Amino acid sequence: MRKRLFRMILVLTVALLSILALASCSEGGTEEGETPVYRDGDTVYLNVYNWGEYISDGGEGSLDTNREFEEYFNTYLSAKYGGVKVRVQYSTYPTNEDMYAKLKNGMVAYDIVIPSDYMIEKMIEEDMLYSFDVTSLENYKYITDIFRSPYYDPDNRYSVPYTYGMLGIIYNRTVVDESDLGSWELLWNEKYDGDILQFNNPRDASATAMYYLGIDVNSRNPEDWIRAIDKLKEQKSLLQGYVNDEIFNKMTTESAAIAPYFVGDFLTMVSEEENLDFFYPKEGVNYFVDAMCIPKASKNPEIAKEYINFMLTEEVAVANAEYIGYASPNSLVINSDEYREYMNTEYLAPTYDDEGNMITLGAYELLYDRKPEEVNAAYNALFPDKQSPACYRSYTPEIQILLNDLWEELKIYDSTETWIHVSSASIVAVVLGFAAYSIYIKKKRSKHYRKKKTK
């Protein structure tokens, strides 16, 4: 009897739990975190959420930035925060959209994220970021002027620039003819069927088509997006694949020969495979800025600020810039001779003619010669009614939904071949035929036996 009661209680608990679960799903969202009370000897976990391979992590003799921060904090700053120890929990995401989704789910309280410009704009609009005066950070003064008060954060209240980079096309010199270079058209060139890669995310992929077609990448006209995706559909049969991070492996093993990607990543690739080269297409390019932000759900915004500040110090910023290979908005990095030399020896060395003039650019020059100002000017000349930086802007919700649908359409588009229909259909036919046959035999036999029995 008691057991029975016990079981009933169990069942009730489960039922209750499930009802609670269902009820609270609808509420969602986490509570606003107050500043926690720090106690001596406690360990605070700082959740840092960053792009893949986007920080100097101690691999191959580099500086392990996160461990350095822990050490620095625990030695010098611990006292300021009641004697707590910090431990960095580092994890990575492949795209802005993935990061956004994880944050929106509210499953993990991240303390640092590093989204791109348009995503920051969107997150500010949706009140997802912690607001503070970023200029009050001790090392903020090192950020170069053009990256202060950016369009996505005009009052400097949410973000500290981390890296920036420009889009272009990476190609393999041994495969691509020189006469085919210079334009986005290369990505649609049938000569290189099966050698071309494309971004595996709607924003960047459609941007390549939009540059080619001369459409503004921040267009609010649905027609423009439909045209862009149609152009991508045209390209699909030529592609080897839609890729994100896999591009590194594909290009460095020479599995593919053409891919749109960022100049910083090109440097990483060319240091492994010297046949690779890079150009900025003539129709126009844009640049992105990735910046460090503190999500609103952060439980330790004060410590997160210390982390951001630490990332701006010379040694750390240089180590990161050297490791990642992207351009840095930090003047300490840009003006560092050690950094310049490192980039031009480890990544890509410039070549000189007899008179000492540079013929091909070194890594450092490739990164910093094309200034964001110029790119902005070119963009504004192309779309005179815009007068804004040549960066992605966050899209309107309608465009967002449309683009997601279009992207799914693209993925499904022309994805099956006749031989697959034919062979799978014939297999199914054979199986069904066999099943029918065996049922028929069975019936015949049982009839036979029944007859025998009645006899």
Partner 1 sequence: MKKYASRIYMCIIFGVLYIPILTVILFSFNAGESTAEFEGFSFYWYGELFRSPDAWVALRNTLILAVSSSLLATVIGTAAAEGIYKMRSRLIKTAVNSVTNIPMMNPDIVTGMSMMLFFAALVGILGIADYNDIGFLAMLISHTTFCLPYVILSVLPGINELGDTLSEAALDLGCTPVKAFFKVKLPNILPGVISGMVMAFTLSLDDFVISYFVGPSNFQTLPLLIYSMTKKTVKPDMYALSTIVIVAVFTLLIISNMRSAKKTATPKRKGARAK
Partner 2 sequence: MKKKNSIMRSIAAAPHIFWAVLFIVLPLIIVVYYAFTDESGAFALENIASLPKYAPIFGLSIELSVIATAICLLIGYPLAYVISKAKPEHQKILVMLLMLPMWTNLLIRTYSIMAILDNGGIVSTLFFDKSLRLIGTKGIVIFGMVYDFLPYMVLPIYTCISKIDKRMWEAAADLGCNTFMTLWKVILPLSRSGIISGVTMVLVPSISTFYISQKLGGGTFELIGDTIERQFISGTLNTGAAISFVMMLLILLSLTVMNKFADPDDGGIIV
SS3 label, residue 109 = coil
φ, ψ of residue 112 in degrees (nearest 5): -135, 130
For partner 1, which stretch binds (CB under 8 A), given 86-94, 301-309, 338-346, 368-376? Answer: 86-94
Q: Are 327 and 368 spatial neighbours (Cβ–Cβ below 8 Å)?
A: yes
Comparison of 240 and 376: residue with beta carbon closer to partner 2: 240
Question: In 254-296, which ranges are E strands?
Answer: 258-262, 276-279, 287-293
Comparison of 358 and 429: residue with beta carbon closer to partner 2: 429
Instruction: Choose among partner 1, partner 2, none what residue 240 binds, the Cβ cut-off being 5 to 8 Å by kind.
Output: partner 2
List, in order, residues 6 or more apart from 137 with CB less than 8 Å away: 160, 305, 308, 309, 312
Instruction: Choose among partner 2, partner 1, none what residue 248 binds, the Cβ cut-off being 5 to 8 Å by kind.
Output: partner 1
List, in order, residues 6 or more apart from 130 with CB less than 8 Å away: 158, 293, 294, 295, 296, 298, 301, 304
**Residues within window 256-275 making contact with partner 1, judged by CB under 8 A:** 268, 272
Q: Would you state the torsion angle of the CA atoms of residues 209, 213, 216, 219, taken in this order, to the nearest 10 degrees?
A: -70
Q: Are 194 and 241 spatial neighbours (Cβ–Cβ below 8 Å)?
A: no
Instruction: Choose among partner 2, partner 1, none what residue 283 binds, the Cβ cut-off being 5 to 8 Å by kind.
Output: none
Distance CA 347, CA 1 (A): 76
Instruction: Choose among partner 2, partner 1, none what residue 101 binds, the Cβ cut-off being 5 to 8 Å by kind.
Output: partner 2
Tokens of 137: 């950070």
Least Å from the CB of residue 439 to partner 2: 9
Comparison of 70 and 245: residue with beta carbon closer to partner 2: 245
Q: Are 46 and 86 spatial neighbours (Cβ–Cβ below 8 Å)?
A: yes
Instruction: Choose among partner 2, partner 1, none what residue 180 binds, the Cβ cut-off being 5 to 8 Å by kind.
Output: none
Tokens of 443: 């019936």
Comparison of 243 and 367: residue with beta carbon closer to partner 2: 243
Comparison of 95 and 163: residue with beta carbon closer to partner 2: 95
Q: At 117, which helix (H) or strand (E)?
A: helix 117-125
Comparison of 199 and 262: residue with beta carbon closer to partner 2: 199
SS3 label, residue 232 = helix
Residue numbers at the binding site for partner 2 (CB under 8 A):
1, 3-4, 7, 10-11, 14, 17-18, 21-22, 25-28, 94, 97-98, 100-102, 104-105, 194, 200, 236, 239-243, 250, 253-256, 408, 411-412, 415-417, 420-421, 423-424, 427-428, 435, 438
Instruction: Choose among partner 2, partner 1, none what residue 92 binds, the Cβ cut-off being 5 to 8 Å by kind.
Output: partner 1
- Locate all alpha helices (DSSP H) within 220-353, ordered by sequence: 222-236, 247-252, 263-270, 301-311, 314-324, 331-334, 337-342
**Residues within window 114-133 making contact with partner 1, judged by CB under 8 A:** none
Q: Can you tell me which of 53, 98, 277, 302 binds partner 1, judged by CB under 8 A?
A: 53
Q: Is 427 in the site for partner 1 (CB under 8 A)?
A: no
Q: At 125, which helix (H) or strand (E)?
A: helix 117-125
Closest CA to 259 of 197, 181, 199: 197
Least Å from the CB of residue 154 to partner 2: 28
Q: Is 174 in the site for partner 1 (CB under 8 A)?
A: no
Q: Is 52 in the site for partner 1 (CB under 8 A)?
A: yes
Q: Can you tell me which of 17, 377, 422, 432 binds partner 1, judged by CB under 8 A?
A: 17
Instruction: Choose among partner 2, partner 1, none what residue 3 binds, the Cβ cut-off being 5 to 8 Å by kind.
Output: partner 2
Query: In sequence order, what DSSP letters do the residues of 130-176 get, joined into one string?
Result: ----GGGSGGGGGB-GGGSS-TTSTTSSSEEEEEEEEEEEEEETTTS
Comparison of 103 and 137: residue with beta carbon closer to partner 1: 103
φ, ψ of residue 172 in degrees (nearest 5): -105, 120
Q: Is 89 in the site for partner 1 (CB under 8 A)?
A: yes
Applying CB under 8 A, the residues found at the interface with partner 1 are: 17, 20-25, 27-28, 30-31, 33, 45, 47, 49, 52-53, 58-59, 89, 91-92, 94, 105, 107-109, 244-246, 248-249, 252-253, 268, 272, 297, 299
